[in-house]
């Protein structure tokens, strides 16, 4: 009789493990690994997608004060003499104290595919109520678009 208890105990343990892995409420188990992308389609977030040829201020600390600590006065891009692209942003400090910010740029081809990784963060000092510019050059000549990110200096 003791010889039968061991296999029965192993079988009971295996059954318990299998049952505990299955959801008991009828929900589908969570899949692991790569998942397809999901597009955000929400009226409360109309700008959820990537907007090329713009500046994004990443830190809420730069946006929360009355009207924000920063104002992006203008942005653009121009060809250099070597036919690379220089993306730029003119930024205004709207506070009464100096600000240190950082910017980086990612360049895209004419159809919006990334063709260069983001550049290194570049520091920009802003005087109180002052205006300064952030500029970055691409390394390739087939650039069609840019995307500039601004964050508080670290």
Considering the domain boundaries, does residue 104 fall inside one? yes
Closest CA to 119 of 143, 137, 141, 100: 137
Residue 112 lies in a domain: yes
Is residue 106 situated within a structural domain? Answer: yes
Q: What pLDDT, on the 0 to 100 scale, is given for residue 67?
A: 73
* Domain of residue 121, residue span: 75-152
Q: Which two tokens stand for residue 2?
A: 């003791």
The answer to the question of residue 118 being in a domain is yes
Residue-wise over 126-146: b if at least 16 C-beta within 10 A, else e? beeeeeeebbbebeeeebbbb
Rounded mean pLDDT for each run of 10 residues along the chain, 154 residues in total: 53 55 57 59 64 91 79 95 97 95 96 94 97 97 96 90
Residue 98 lies in a domain: yes
In the chain, the number of structural domains is 1
Q: Write down the pTM of the prediction.
A: 0.69
pLDDT of 65: 59
Q: Is residue 145 part of a domain?
A: yes
For residue 139, being part of any structural domain is answered with yes
Q: What is the CA radius of gyration of the chain?
A: 27
CATH number at residue 114: 2.60.40.3230
């Amino acid at each position: 009789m003791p010889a039968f208890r061991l296999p029965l105990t192993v079988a009971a343990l295996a059954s318990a493990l299998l049952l505990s892995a299955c959801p008991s409420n009828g929900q589908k188990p969570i899949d692991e690994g790569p998942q397809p992308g999901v597009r955000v389609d929400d009226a409360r977030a109309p700008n959820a997608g990537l907007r090329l040829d713009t500046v994004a201020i990443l830190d809420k600390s730069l946006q929360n004060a009355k009207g924000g600590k920063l104002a992006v006065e203008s942005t653009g891009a121009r060809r250099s003499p070597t036919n690379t692209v220089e993306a730029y942003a003119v930024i205004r400090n709207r506070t009464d104290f100096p600000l240190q910010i950082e910017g980086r740029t990612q360049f895209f081809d004419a159809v919006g595919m990334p063709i260069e990784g983001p550049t290194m963060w570049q520091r920009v000092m802003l005087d109180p109520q002052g205006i300064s510019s952030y500029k970055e050059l691409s390394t390739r000549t087939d650039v069609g678009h840019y995307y500039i990110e601004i964050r508080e200096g670290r």
